[in-house]
Amino acid sequence: MTYFFILLSLFILEIAYFKFADHFNIIDKPNERSSHTTITLRGGGIIFYFAALIFFVLSKGQYPWFFLGLTSMALISFLDDIYTLSNKIRLLVHFSSVLLMAYQLQIFSMPWYYLVITFVVVVGVINAYNFMDGINGITACYSLAVGGLMMIVNYKLHFIAQDLLAYSLLGLLVFAFFNFRTRAKCFAGDVGAVTIAFILLFALGALIIKTGNLIYILFLSVYGVDAVWTIAQRLYRRENIFEAHRSHLYQYLGNEAKVNKLVVSFLYGLTQFLIGWLVIGISHEVYTTQLIFACALILGLSIVYLVLKELVIRRFVLK
């Protein structure tokens, strides 16, 4: 019953935000780089922050430093959705928020290079997560897959409060109801992509620290392969990697190949969930086995990604 009332509350909050966004004209207008063709409300992903806020209140302030960092990230991202802030301001807030997350995870008690690695990985993944939010349903499907995998692992290992994950997934379901449709009611916006990425990375960091096992980073392997290879290809073409574009595989599939965008989003999430299921199974094996699996997985994903992307480009872009 608690989860039902949380779900109902999140629906009400999302609808209230729609009225707010509509009143203040917080919208996403399509341009030549967009994958949508109609004006749509922006920032619907703020519901992920509301879900975390409900957890924070009901848990009587659990994970205060993480929540402070999350609040800072959500606020600056929401303002960026409205005003388009400078990269320097956003990077400063991201840096501060990652430090707060690291403090909550007690990384400051570890060797200094752990903090450097944490900063690079978290900021990189958050920005990649934001860049990947380009078609209806992809953020919802992918995040439900990653969050669901961590709930499965958490049931046995108890590395984080289960309700933080549960409430976040309820927020994702609410968002998916309005976003996972041919004509979306809203988009996640920077506030949505950044917030859910921050929550999932906090949980993933807690899992890796609890187990001492880096294999779980593969819970983000699908997004990782797509983002890294897209950046590499754009750098090779001497393009500005910070400018909006339509050169991810999912964008080519949905825009040029005309594959149903909801199908593309679902397949991204399903692929990641199946990979994650294999990761959970291999996590009990010896280090050498895990290393071979990880290398084979990344290599295999990369080959499939590059071949499929090249086929789509030759068939539908260069025709």
Confidence of residue 277 (pLDDT cuts 50, 70, 90): very high
Is the pLDDT assigned to residue 31 strictly greater than 80?
A: no
Confidence of residue 243 (pLDDT cuts 50, 70, 90): confident
CA distance 93 to 149: 29
pTM, 2 dp: 0.94
Is the pLDDT assigned to residue 35 strictly greater than 70?
A: no
pLDDT digits (tens, 9 = 90+) for 52-64: 999 999 999 999 9
Check: CB of residue 282 under 8 Å from CB of residue 229: no
Confidence of residue 241 (pLDDT cuts 50, 70, 90): confident
In this prediction, residues 233-262 reach a mean pLDDT of: 87
31's CB contacts (< 8 A; 6+ apart) are 244
CA dihedral 145, 148, 149, 150 (to 10 degrees): 130
Q: Report the pLDDT value the prediction gives residue 221, as an integer from 0 to 100.
A: 96
Confidence of residue 15 (pLDDT cuts 50, 70, 90): very high
Confidence of residue 38 (pLDDT cuts 50, 70, 90): low
CA distance 151 to 199: 13
Q: Report the pLDDT value the prediction gives residue 57, as an integer from 0 to 100.
A: 96
Mean pLDDT rounded to a whole number for the chain: 92
Domain residue spans of the chain:
2-317
Tell me which of 239 and 309 has the higher pLDDT: 309
CA distance 294 to 217: 10
CA distance 308 to 318: 14
In this prediction, residues 124-146 reach a mean pLDDT of: 90
pLDDT digits (tens, 9 = 90+) for 76-107: 999 988 887 888 888 899 999 999 999 999 99
pLDDT digits (tens, 9 = 90+) for 179-209: 999 888 999 999 999 999 999 999 999 999 9
What whole-number percentage of the chain has pLDDT above 90?
A: 72
